[in-house]
Amino acid sequence: VVFVDLGNPSKNETPSYWIATRMEVGNACISHPAHGTKNWERRFSKDALDSKGWKDNWGLFEQFLP
């Protein structure tokens, strides 16, 4: 799973990427405070994503390289 923040084009910001396995994202959704409520949305702040160690986690793709 890849989360992308495209940045602010007026400030010429570069995109940010958070890369995780589907299982890691699923566990994060289950532990989210909205889990078990009628609110099905899960919104994660940049700080929350950064704290999980997912930012620029390109190493997850190494298993797919020749």
Write down the pLDDT at residue 53.
Answer: 92
Q: Residues 47-63: what's their mean pLDDT? A: 92
Write down the pLDDT at residue 35.
Answer: 76
- Are 24 and 48 contacting, i.e. CB atoms less than 8 angstroms apart? no
* DSSP-assigned letters across all residues of 3-51: EEE---GGGTPPPEEEE--HHHHHHHHHHSTTTTSS-------HHHHHH
pLDDT digits (tens, 9 = 90+) for 11-53: 999 999 999 999 999 898 888 777 778 876 778 888 888 889 9
Of the candidates 8, 7, 17, the residue with the CA atom closest to the CA atom of residue 50: 17
Residue with tokens 């949305």: 41
User: Sign of torsion, CA 51 53 41 9?
Assistant: positive
Q: Is the pTM here over 0.85, yes or no?
A: no
Write down the pLDDT at residue 7.
Answer: 92
